[in-house]
Amino acid sequence: MTPAEQSAAARQICQLAPVVPVIVVKDIAHARPLAEALVAGGLPALEVTLRSDCALDAIRVMAEVEGGVVGAGTLLTPEDVKAAKAAGAKFGVSPGATPRLLEACAEAGLPLLPGAATASEVMALLERGYTVQKFFPAETNGGAPALKSLGGPLPQVSFCPTGGVSLKNAPDYLKLANTLCVGGSWVAPDAMVQSGDWAGITQLAREAVEALSGFKG
């Protein structure tokens, strides 16, 4: 899979909804109901971060949920890529990008949202053919004003900003021409996950869709 093909697939995934939930699954028993709650609320693209011991098992379980498109976040190594692909991940997300990681995703046929924070990083990825990237960490790198500035000289690159994004500041990003969607954890807060408040999470997802869809409708 070429970088251009990866970016085309990533663009389609990013356009499914205004928010890609960024999820940390600590208990495998939470995986299915959490995925079902978010999909029911209108957020089908789910990024499961590889930050817990059961993350890969969670991807396997969530991949079976009808209507969901499950990806693996925090991909750092070629081994992460292989494991995520084997678990059923349909896309990958990385905080940054290295040649080995990019090559592994291409070989595995895994669409990737590679992370970039500076103009040089964006240009290096664009040079390889990645026209859809993750702007991370968004807020600490200047937020929406910084992302807007990148759009001036680099209008051919579109982004999913992640890191410090909330329902309050998401509109600032989504109104930008170079933003496809945002990544955020606020739609699946840990306290609600641990308490099993699936109806509450569905409601948060619905509120996000209702509040933000107009910016990319």
Handedness of CA 186, 142, 178, 63 (dihedral sign): negative
Q: Choosing from 36, 47, 85, 90, which is the catalytic residue? A: 47
Query: Under DSSP, is residue 215 helix (H, G, I), strand (E, B) or coil?
Result: helix
Burial of 194 (0-12, 13-18, 19+ CB in 10 A): exposed
- Residue recorded with tokens 């051919």: 156
Contact 101, 81 (CB under 8 A): yes
Which position among 79, 82, 134, 207 bears the catalytic label? 134
**Catalytic annotation on 210?**
no
Q: Is-catalytic flag, 207?
A: no
**How many Å from the N-terminal Cα to the C-terminal Cα in the chain?**
29
Active site amino acids: 47, 134
